[in-house]
Structure 1
Amino acid sequence: MSPAPRDAVWQPLHAELDRWSEAGRTIKLWLRDDDAIAPDPALDRLAGLGERFGLPILLAVIPMLAEPALPAALRDRPSLLPCQHGCWHRNHALEGAKKSEFGPQRSAAEITAEIGEAHRRLDNLFGPALLPIFVPPWNRIDPGHAALLLELGFSGLSCFRGYTLGPAGGPRLGNTHLDIMDWGGGRIGRSSQDLVAETCRLLAARRTDASPDNDAFGVLLHHRDHDATAWDFLDAFLLLATRHAAVIPTDPRWQFQLPTAP
């Protein structure tokens, strides 16, 4: 394996991780990948990434688009852990609003029926390999609808940083924190310089906060959309991070208090 990157782009991340070590703190690094529907070369590359760095990856599968070949493919890719990614990945938001499949304008009865049908399809495809974690498309779900997920059998919910449950609660929340894609710029990988700078800002803001939720850092991936820039960043970032004493490569099941034994 090649040495961890130490050029000028990566030096700030080395320095920030050193500060975590000096403070006696560690970061539990975990990965989530969205929009899986079928086996393809990008999925193979994602699985290889997880195996190479000892990082199981939470794989959010679109239930109603998932192809029958996917479960068999994942049996040979133990680093990929399937869970439910919405239902159809359809936007139901009102015109002008941010995209969402489960916004407040939809009824609880409609949401419950749709998520339940989608979950049954995934359960038929994956059986016990399917994790009871729900990932809403675009990382958005109305807090009132999130509260319904417990009754539907989900013990975990994963969105993006800043998302919080409402007064009615919901499953255990495990948000991701860093999105490596530039969606507005053309669905391309963000530059390593920008991602390193954002990672350092996020980690520095949390370094002195010793609350339990501040030791986990989730990176959000979309293997079907990764270009060379995205894959190159991941290779270098994970090589650096997993070799640093401040970083603990973490199975995402830990984030949701699920058993990690096979």
Structure 2
Amino acid sequence: MTASLWSPLVAELDRWQETGRRLRLWLRDDDAAAPSPALDRLAAAAERYAAPVLLAVIPMLAEPALAATLRDKPLLRPCQHGCWHRNHAPAGAKKSEFGPERSPRDVDAEMTEASQRLRALLGESILPIFVPPWNRIDSGHAARLSTLGFQGLSCFRDHRHGAAGGPRLLNTHVDVMDWHGGRIGRAHAELIAETTGLLAQWRAAPHGPDTLGLLLHHRDHDDTAWAFLDGLLAQISNHPAVTLTDPRNLLQPGEAS
């Protein structure tokens, strides 16, 4: 990947620096359940660039061996990724584990069981952040997350709470995967253009956002996706306008995305 490919993004970050803005970049990786070479590769990238990663672990599918593996990977910060990662949506609807068709009683019981299993497996390292599979959760279910012990909810870009509210939103904004085009890594030029455009939009807006979440799926990454992650971190991790943000800090006031 040539430096010229990254020049639009670097130039936009230069403009952030010139205007006194600072970008908080954070990483979220979904669908963790077991040790694997891909998980090792994710951890290696995190260590190489001192970039902590919010690791969304599927509680009811997580293998006991994952606990020992994560003890040796301190920059992978585990949190709860749904319960079983099962689709309960009716035929023809978008996939969701926690849609409006499910009763609050059933959802709360399932979430509690899953939380208990995850805590028994991983202990106090779990962050109180809930990541719903497919980035979807009914607003009524989301509103009860705080009573179930969650301080944050992480979905994707435009997700918003309903009238009943919910925990702090920690949305991601850029997904490195092309799910509809073959479950492959997206073209680097496309990702760079999307990220640059989003940052330019935020910079131009009064009181625009300053926290960008990058969405990863280590189990599905091909060489294109891995190369983008490495290239992005190599290009911007030392930029004076960028802070690689620890997911633990996203729960602090002023850090929501």
**Same topology, TM > 0.5:** yes
How far apart, in 1, do the equivalents of 2:60 and 2:128 lie?
17
Instruction: Tell me what 2:59 maps to.
Output: 63
Q: Given the alignment, which residue of 101, 109, 112 partners 2:108? A: 112
Match of 1:6 among 3, 6, 16: 3
2:145 aligned with 1:158: no
Aligned residue for 1:35, secondary structure, equals strand
Distance in 2, matches of 1:236 and 1:123, equals: 34
What is the TM-score normalised by the length of structure 2?
A: 0.96
Aligned position for 1:229: 224
Q: Take 1:237 and 1:133, find their aligned partners in 2: how far apart are those partners?
A: 25
Question: Normalization by structure 1: what TM-score?
Answer: 0.94
Partner of 2:130, secondary structure, is strand
Unaligned runs of 5+ in 1: none
**What is the match of residue 248 of structure 2?**
253
Compute the displacement of 1:5 (Å).
Answer: 5.0
Q: Give the match's secondary structure for 2:164.
A: coil
The one-letter amino acid of 1:120's match is Q
RMSD: 1.3
CA contact (8 A) 1:5 1:236 kept: no
Q: What letter is aligned with 2:209?
A: N
| 1:156 shift after superposition | 0.8
SS at structure 2 position matched to 1:217 = strand
1:78 aligns with 2:78: no
Structure 1 CA distance for aligned equivalents of residues 140 and 229 of structure 2: 35
Given candidates 113, 123, 130, the residue that maps to 1:127 is 123
- 1:231-254 Cα offsets, whole Å, 9 max, x none, are 011111111111211111110111
> Which digits, 9 at most, give the CA deviation of each residue in 1:156-206, with x for residues without a partner?
110000000111111111000000000001110001000001001111110
- The percent of aligned pairs where both chains have the same amino acid is 64
Off by >4 Å, runs of 4+ in structure 1: none
Match of 1:54 in 2: 50
Q: Equivalent residue of 1:151, what SS?
A: helix
Q: Distance in 1 between matches of 2:32 and 2:108?
A: 22
Is 1:239 paired with 2:234? Answer: yes
- Aligned to 1:224, the other structure's residue is in SS state coil
Distance 1:252 1:55 in 2: 10
In 1, the alpha carbon distance for the partners of 2:75 and 2:232 equals 18
Amino acid corresponding to residue 153 of structure 1 in structure 2: G
- For residues 99-140 of structure 1, what are the alpha-carbon distances to aligned partners after superposition, in whole Å with 9 as ceiling and x for unaligned? 110001111111101111111100100111111110000000
- The gaps in structure 2 that reach 5 residues or longer are none
